[in-house]
Amino acid sequence: MSDIILETRDLTKYYGGVHALEGADFTLRKGEHVAIMGDNGAGKSTFVRQITGVEPRTRGEIIFDGKPVHFDGPLDARQAGIEAVFQTLALADDLDVSDNLFLGREKTWANWLGPFRFLDYKAMRADTIAALEKTAVKIPNIRNTIQYMSGGQRQCVAIARTATFHSKLTIMDEPTAALGVQETAQVENIIRTLKEQGEPLILISHNMRQVMDLVDRIIVFRRGRIVANLNKDDTDGQDVVAYITGAKTQPEYAGAA
């Protein structure tokens, strides 16, 4: 069995004339935690959207868990085992916290009168409270719909989901950008727990301290292309910044950006 959980080959996305992502060759091993860094507009979120099938890719291949995949969207990707926390949150505005947490993963109880299954709201609400406790976020009423929540509260609902369900791959796009100090620390603890459980992670972050604390490897994007692939132990913040700004390029990516 292969120890690769995700591979992209020549993954590319154009929005009209905008080359948002160009020729991304990327590999993630099972259990590995990788950070993606790069300036705003470098193509990081676009990369995540192609993997999860939010929109059709221009070209390229995505191999997940040994098979070529073409997801129809985040729910489809979730069913295959990819839990993604998007930068622009894909939460349903008119659903409450619990419904959002379980979207696509609803708990049901079978009844013995027939083939029908009913949603087990009580179990889902209890699990929701337990999940939110892990993120330290204060949400006064989990039956409130998402539309009235702050960015940080929404983010924590999405992150709570990754801490609740085991998945084959977790992707977080700037998960702590809108969070306070305490919530950020909790989210970092959730990430450490995923690592201990052997669950692989792609973490998009601008926070150098966080990246250096948490991941095994750093991939740098610049102008839609991967320009560096760095083992955390062989690099430092200054080095990474040099790749982000284009002051430095790895020989194997020369001519990329």
Ligand X SMILES: Nc1ncnc2c1ncn2[C@@H]1O[C@H](COP(=O)(O)OP(=O)(O)O)[C@@H](O)[C@H]1O
State the residues that interact with ligand X by CB under 6 A.
15, 18, 20, 38, 40-46
Nearer to ligand X, 215 or 226 (CB): 226
CB atoms < 10 A from the CB of 18, how many? 12
Min. distance of Cβ 8 from ligand X in angstroms? 14
Min. distance of Cβ 74 from ligand X in angstroms? 16
Identify residues 82-101 at the interface with Mg ion (CB under 5 A). 87
Nearer to ligand X, 38 or 175 (CB): 38
Which pair of tokens denotes residue 236? 């430092």
Min. distance of Cβ 10 from ligand X in angstroms? 17
45 binds Mg ion (CB under 5 A): yes
- What is the total residue count of the chain? 257
Q: How far is CA 202 from the centre of its chain?
A: 6
Select from 139, 134, 235 the least CA-distant residue to 192.
Answer: 134
Angle, helices 181-196 vs 151-164, to 10°: value is 20
Which partner from the list Mg ion, ligand X, none does 20 bind, CB cut-off 5 to 8 Å by kind? ligand X
Min. distance of Cβ 18 from ligand X in angstroms? 5
Which partner from the list ligand X, Mg ion, none does 156 bind, CB cut-off 5 to 8 Å by kind? none
Backbone angles phi, psi at 211, to 5 degrees: -65, -45
Task: Kindly give the pairing relationship between strand 18-29 and strand 217-222.
Answer: unpaired
